[in-house]
Structure 1
Amino acid sequence: MQLPKAFIEKYQTLLAEEAEAFFQSLEKGKGEKAFRLNPIKAKLAPELTSDLIGNCLKAPFGHQAYFGEVKGKSPEHVAGLVYSQEPSAMIVADVAEAKAGERILDLCAAPGGKTTQLAADMAGEGLLVSNEIIPKRAKILAENVERWGYPHVVVTNHSPAELVAHFPEFFDAVVVDAPCSGEGMFRKDNPASDLWEESTPIICQRRQKDILLEAVKMLKVGGRLIYSTCTFAKEEDEEIVSWLVEELGLSIEAIDRQGCSHGRKEWGSVPGLEGTVRLWPHLQKGEGHFVAKLVKGKASEIFYQDKSDMPKKNKKKRQKSQKTPRQFSKEEQVYLEDLLARFPFEKTGKLVRFGDRVYYQAEDFPDSQGLKLPLPGLAIGEFRKNRIEPLHAFALLADPCVEKWPRIDLTEEEWRLYMSGQSLPYKGQSSWVLLTYRHLPFAFAKHTAGQLKNAYPKGLRFV
């Protein structure tokens, strides 16, 4: 890989004697692959999990994270037991220290690495709003969230400014893994280095400030902002943190992680920058990353030039939402109760209907009027004529309750046949059943006429 000339000159000046090792790591170094376990599903399938991790070395950030590679068409991937993620990227959610019962926003969330890690740390309790502004990427995000199986996650598709009216000073923590110049991904993504220009970091800095201004408006006073990039540029790292302190009144909370490098205090303008973290590819395993934790100390009124522009709580936006909740008829209530009696699921949230589908949604999620929701919550069932059928996402639920569901454990050969769209011969009574492989749930099937009729989504089947 050929690094841009202006990039080399810049970091020769900034890094001095470190520069040569830094350039060598980008030009000739090799990135590491890693994955995280889904802690609830790991407990459901302990033997499969043990075989999976084998002698893998622990990755440094996040619970149950390991170095190694997982294939995309493996049972553990398609059933949401694992999430493949670059090891340095795991530090972002790790620093957020999400807790059960909190309200958290992952503002720039696709493809879903941070969201799945945050969801697991929250143990399925509270509310996690996972947002992506680009519709195609929001769809990928929703698919990964469904596979992970945590019921308290809602996926939205908005710009940060559009979200503020729905969530003013609402969240305990906001995670902003900001769009950046991507210098930390140069050896992983050659187009990133080809597109880099000397002005790129400053252009990105302007966009990051716009995003962060809106992010802070959605953070409670005393709430924590986790800001991260995958770039080395001081303009997008220490200078942005300095701006958050000087202009928006946030304070830096020092991050304590072993094996990490400190932020460079000489690259910013406020005290405490050494409490931020940098990951350098010539010093740590993984790609380049920067992360900072800050605490909001002032109410959001100071961020508005005109107080008449301040969002009011519960104020409905005029634009039509992508999905509008509907009421259940008495007949539908009966169908739903029968489904949940067979597949019991006890949570403190609410059941909502969008179109013909029923979703579980966290209790704290506000009125969805005006919100675009690629995923309104955990998809449980779909109403058909005179019945309701369980949806695939419900089979992927990460909750110990699934151990009580009626199930059939398939062999590896049966699993492969089912994943390719085939039905399987199986004696027994007619009913919906959960299918598992080595005790790991992965799908529903309609058990009827001596067969397990294939209900696996056609778009996900193996060809």
Structure 2
Amino acid sequence: MNKIPEMFLERMKNMLDSEFPEFEQSYQETAYQGLRVNTLKLSVEQFLSQTSFSLEPIPWCPSGFYYTEQNRPGKHPYHAAGLYYIQEPSAMSVVEVLQPEPGEKVLDLCAAPGGKSTQIAAYLQGEGLLIANEIYGNRVKSLSENIERCGIKNTLVTNETPARLAERFPAFFDRILVDAPCSGEGMFRKLAEACTDWSTQKVQECADVQAEILDDAAQMLKPGGVLVYSTCTFSPNENESSIAQFLKRQPEFELLGIEKEHGMSSGNPQWGNNRDDLQHTVRLWPHHLKGEGHFIAKLQKKDGEIISQRKAASSPIAKESLQLWKAYQKEFLQSSFPETGYIQFGDQLYLLPPHSPELNRLKVVRPGLHLGTLKKGRFEPSHALALALRPWEIGQSQSFSQDSEQILRYLKGESLINDSTEKGWTVVCVDGYPLGWGKVANGQMKNHYPKGLRWL
């Protein structure tokens, strides 16, 4: 058991009254583990028919499941193939409240490490635009890697401040998720560092930052658009009070109802200046359900001005670069890629998502789908391209079963024996799902699985 701060427990005793003993007892229990099926790559039914994991459905997320530690899903080829995302169960509830729809423009403003971004992308099903932003440079890498592993094509990953994005994207997004940086009280059972890092000063500092982020998000939402605010903390200052103050500053917003089910509770109006509409917010308590602590508020922007945005240039790349890509595509892929929408950074080629805005003067870490590297007279495909391919888009491939020795060898970076008469770039698959590239020549497949991802 992690050492829970005494001042925190004293505050929770005052907040929960008769429920406090049950709440305190929850810290004696093991934190629940969850995974969410990546429905961009396969259906929940397909996943369940192929996995040997011992799973229990998470009631508030149709694609989410509890697993036991004995399953070790992080060390399975299906994880490397992006067939699921390991995510805390309560955290899965937030995007279920956001409910993005295919074709919409969506912003995940505080996105690292990417659990909620990948869940949003699954809802979009490749249609529309997702901007996944992370202000901290040391966290944006993991966000970009998870976007890549899940095979997401229609996402821009940015490394900007919310204020900077607000300047660039006034009234631009249909939906915005603010999974705000917080004091992390809801993670005390799961993360020892959350306990040691906590203080009453940090709670107030987080509340101040949250207010700034929410105001920036308000500027970026279209009239009629939906903003979902969430935290993984219990502090009223960061939850009900934070929303009450936001509504006072931004009267063009109103709270929308969220269905309370599966042990979820209403927010407490008394903790937010006695605003009756705060009962529309939701709290997830660890002594009421199988998950950690969370708070969720769903807001809609009633009015404002719609502002048009200039789109990104359609194809700012050299003719020779496009020819190399198209020649590679014709030889090794079955899919039909767009004629326009490409962008080149140095020798790296990307395919921008549809409806992309102009990217100049933005810190863009991943401008859409990374296709590969342009080298002298040839094109070398990226790992991201392999993971983004659907089975019907693959050209040359070699598939192995999930428990085969060949798959383990491939994930370790070893070469494979190959008796195929075909040569060149080949997609290595696990049970038909892409894992990465190999290159066949002289009866061998040279391993092109990225060194940084190889299993030790």
- With normalisation by structure 2, the TM-score equals 0.92
* Correspondence 1:72-87 to 2 at 5 A: 72-87=74-89
Shift in Å, 1:193: 2.1
| Cα deviation code 1:405-454 (max 9, x no counterpart) | 32111351111112222211212122211111111210111111221111
For the residues of structure 1 that align with 2:260 and 2:3, how far apart are their CA atoms?
33
For the residues of structure 2 that align with 1:45 and 1:15, how far apart are their CA atoms?
40
Q: Report if aligned partners of 2:315, 2:343 keep a CA contact under 8 Å in 1.
A: yes
For the residues of structure 2 that align with 1:362 and 1:53, how far apart are their CA atoms?
36
Q: Report if aligned partners of 1:53, 1:66 keep a CA contact under 8 Å in 2.
A: no
* Correspondence 1:63-462 to 2 at 5 A: 63-69=62-68, 70-249=72-251, 250-259=253-262, 260-269=264-273, 270-299=275-304, 314=310, 327-341=316-330, 342-346=332-336, 350-397=341-388, 399=390, 401-402=392-393, 404-411=394-401, 412-427=404-419, 428-462=421-455
Cα 1:282–1:133 shift into 2, 3 Å: same
Q: Report if aligned partners of 1:41, 1:398 keep a CA contact under 8 Å in 2.
A: no
Q: Report if aligned partners of 1:166, 1:314 keep a CA contact under 8 Å in 2.
A: no
For the residues of structure 1 that align with 2:241 and 2:41, how far apart are their CA atoms?
41
Number of the residue aligned with 1:4: 5
Q: Report if aligned partners of 1:42, 1:49 keep a CA contact under 8 Å in 2.
A: no
For the residues of structure 1 that align with 2:321 and 2:309, how far apart are their CA atoms?
32
Comparing 404-413 with 241-250, greater Cα deviation is found at 404-413
For the residues of structure 1 that align with 2:8 and 2:44, how far apart are their CA atoms?
49
Structure 1 alignment gaps of length 5 or more: 302-310, 317-323
For the residues of structure 2 that align with 1:266 and 1:15, how far apart are their CA atoms?
13
Number of the residue aligned with 1:308: none
For the residues of structure 2 that align with 1:10 and 1:45, how far apart are their CA atoms?
44
Number of the residue aligned with 2:23: 22
Cα 1:195–1:460 shift into 2, 3 Å: closer
- Percent same amino acid among aligned pairs? 38
Cα 1:172–1:295 shift into 2, 3 Å: same
Comparing 276-285 with 443-452, greater Cα deviation is found at 443-452
> SS state of the match for residue 396, structure 1?
helix
RMSD: 2.4
| Cα deviation code 1:209-232 (max 9, x no counterpart) | 011111111111111110000001
For the residues of structure 1 that align with 2:311 and 2:380, how far apart are their CA atoms?
35
Count of residue pairs the alignment pairs up: 444
| Cα deviation code 1:67-89 (max 9, x no counterpart) | 01543231011110110000001
Cα 1:125–1:235 shift into 2, 3 Å: same
Which residue identity does 1:444 align to in structure 2? Answer: W
Cα 1:238–1:387 shift into 2, 3 Å: same
Q: Report if aligned partners of 1:95, 1:255 keep a CA contact under 8 Å in 2.
A: yes
For the residues of structure 2 that align with 1:354 and 1:421, how far apart are their CA atoms?
28
Comparing 423-432 with 375-384, greater Cα deviation is found at 423-432
Q: Report if aligned partners of 2:315, 2:342 keep a CA contact under 8 Å in 1.
A: no
Comparing 409-418 with 82-91, greater Cα deviation is found at 409-418
Structure 2 alignment gaps of length 5 or more: none
- With normalisation by structure 1, the TM-score equals 0.90
Cα 1:339–1:169 shift into 2, 3 Å: same
Q: Report if aligned partners of 1:261, 1:279 keep a CA contact under 8 Å in 2.
A: yes
Number of the residue aligned with 2:42: 42
Q: Report if aligned partners of 1:178, 1:208 keep a CA contact under 8 Å in 2.
A: yes
> SS state of the match for residue 276, structure 2?
coil
Which residue identity does 1:210 align to in structure 2? Answer: E
> SS state of the match for residue 144, structure 1?
helix
For the residues of structure 1 that align with 2:399 and 2:63, how far apart are their CA atoms?
25
Q: Report if aligned partners of 2:314, 2:341 keep a CA contact under 8 Å in 1.
A: no
For the residues of structure 2 that align with 1:99 and 1:177, how far apart are their CA atoms?
19
| Cα deviation code 1:331-354 (max 9, x no counterpart) | 322221122223244466722211
| Cα deviation code 1:275-321 (max 9, x no counterpart) | 111000011101000001000123279xxxxxxxxx995599xxxxx
